[in-house]
Amino acid sequence: MISTPVDLRGPRALVPMLNVLRFFGDPVGQMLRLHRDFGAIAAVADRRATLICAFGAELNQQVITQPALYQHSSEIPVKAPPGSSLARFNQVLPFSNGEAHRRRRRLMMPAFQKTAIDAYVPDLVTVADAMLKRWPTLQVVDVAGLVRELTAAFAVRTLFGLDALDEKEELAHVEAKLLESLSNPLSIALPFAVPGLPFHTALTLSAKVERRLREVIATRRAQGGTGRDVLSMLLAAKDEDGSSLSDDELVGECNGLFVAGYDTSAQTLAWTLFLLTQHPGVLAALLDELAPLKGAPPGPTDFARLPLLDAVLKESMRLLPAAPMLFMRVASTDAPLGRHTVPTGTTVVLSPLVTHRDPDRFPEPAKFKPERWQSAQPGAYEYLPFGVGARMCLGAPLANVVLRVLLPMVLQRFRLELQPGADVSRTMHGIALAPRHGLPMVLKPRDDSPPPPRVPVRGDVQQLVDLPA
């Protein structure tokens, strides 16, 4: 990151990098404060181009529609050692630019077309049914942790064709630990391969993940790549000139797809369950809408008949988007940003979370109001939980199906009772907004009684959501 002077205000700092570390320690809180105190464009360190935040639909459009000018950074936010597994993991679709990005997207698109996604649904239902049967009842459990295990199991099955219920398969567990080590602010402050530091742990875990992924790739290739999983489709994919993804490319993309495929969906599902426990009237109406299914999971042909399910998920992703900030962009030359110009090398952050709180586009923006989606028709740069345009998340259609199947399956089976006084606070789990202390709930078998009343909670989630009295 550069530290070039720039005519943009922000919090004062003797050492700009200290402000950057503070930012990544709590990016959500920092973005909200920067927007409140400095407006649509704010420097994380006063008058320094070290890191710039740009807020709102107009600036989203300006940055996103100029990919040659604002290129994706692969340093997230520190540079990995050349030749390391972590460096290969960073050479993936979201961090590539120009023709490299277009080529990879062409090769990967077939695995995420509608026909492919519809074919994944039976596996989703099978895995979810088996996992939900394992969920403990009549005791306090961390529902956020349970849904992470659930979406990880589906990702293992769908992406790699592995037995999602095999307790010996450690891929999901190791990936989770890798995310935790990379999310540690010390990985940014001290990016050194020194034992005991989180960054060293990240490098070690990355190598372990890569070894397992290469084993899986070799197995799928030996089987002829004829499976229904995403990896098999990637092995079979050919570009117009007959080229395919190399093993290094496959390793990186498989890792990226796994992280994006399980973690963001898990956090969205967890936050949605929390919001429903805080809004029992909405939950009761949603259960009424699901009643005609008679306990069966919805399939893609049912979604059009479930408008409240759609609205609940859209509103949850508006209010508590799994990705509160988009991948960082770096100015390839001196570049316009609003009425300002930022110097070459400036890192720019965009924020769906702040964008989704524009009161002109979303009245009472801090309230959970699924009914707003009966008439709301935000533009592409006003509502972007999966990004937008040519850089929109490739797996967004699959994630939308996963959420619309899993949320009903949980609600059809369990009565969720959040523990009174639970500390519901935020943290960043990789790129995803997550409950810092989990979501302690008691799960009871679903019956015909109305949802339990809302219970008061503690924690900084109340900085993000106006909860009912």
At residue 434, the 3 state secondary structure works out as strand
Which residues sit opposite 414 in a β-bridge?
445
Identity at 365, one-letter amino acid code: P
Rounded Cα distance between 132 and 445, Å, is 11
Confidence of residue 297 (pLDDT cuts 50, 70, 90): very high
Averaged pLDDT, 245-267: 90
With 70 as the cut, is the pLDDT of residue 430 above it? yes
Confidence of residue 228 (pLDDT cuts 50, 70, 90): confident
At residue 177, the 3 state secondary structure works out as helix
Pairing of strands 70-72, 41-43: unpaired
Q: Check if the beta carbon of residue 121 is closer than 8 Å to that of residue 405.
A: yes
Beta strand spans in 281-431 (E): 329-331, 335-337, 340-342, 347-350, 414-418, 426-429
With 70 as the cut, is the pLDDT of residue 245 above it? yes
Output the six-digit token pair for 36.
């409140």
Q: For residue 438, which phi and psi values (nearest 5 degrees)?
A: 75, -170
Q: Check if the beta carbon of residue 409 is closer than 8 Å to that of residue 128.
A: yes
Report the CATH number of the 91-321+356-463 domain.
1.10.630.10
Rounded Cα distance between 213 and 152, Å, is 15
Output the six-digit token pair for 380.
């592409």
Confidence of residue 77 (pLDDT cuts 50, 70, 90): low
Confidence of residue 76 (pLDDT cuts 50, 70, 90): low
Averaged pLDDT, 160-184: 81
Torsion angle of alpha carbons 260, 135, 449, 311, nearest 10°?
A: 10
Residue spans per domain, the chain: 1-89+326-355, 91-321+356-463
Query: pTM for this structure?
Result: 0.94
Share the mean pLDDT of the chain.
92
Note the pLDDT tens digit of each residue in 356-408. 999 999 999 999 999 999 999 999 999 999 999 888 898 999 999 999 999 99
